[in-house]
Amino acid sequence: MNYAEERDKAFIEFVKNDNLKPWAKVCKKYGIDRPKSWKAERAGIYKAVQYCTNIPEDVKVLAMQKCLKMGFNPLIKPIEGSEDKAWEQ
């Protein structure tokens, strides 16, 4: 299994079951620093899920709902000057 597959599996487990253990293992394996703030980590995962092409739509919707419930915008604002106009819609 490659990084993207492991990440997606861990993200799905977190979104569906609020279980961060698989994500913690992925972070440890690949040397990814985790935020000290539990809120930032969770919101970041919910946001990242929206841009993972192999995560099912129902999981994306659930992640979006949970992110909104936390008070965060579930989408990542594009970089200034980007051609991505989806943010403005």
- Tens of pLDDT, residue by residue over 37-69, are 999 999 999 999 999 999 999 999 999 999 999
Question: Is the model's pLDDT at 21 over the cut of 80?
Answer: yes
81: in domain: no
Provide the residue range defining the domain that includes 29. 3-75
Beta-carbon contacts of 57 under 8 Å, excluding residues fewer than 6 positions away, are none
13: in domain: yes
pTM equals 0.84
15: in domain: yes
16: in domain: yes
- The runs of H, that is alpha helices, within the chain are 3-17, 21-30, 38-49, 57-69
pLDDT confidence tier of residue 87, bands split at 50, 70 and 90: very low
pLDDT confidence tier of residue 85, bands split at 50, 70 and 90: low
89: in domain: no
85: in domain: no
- Looking from the CA of 1 toward its CB, the CA atoms found within 13 Å total 11
| Count of structural domains, the chain | 1
58: in domain: yes
33: in domain: yes
Average pLDDT over residues 66-83: 81
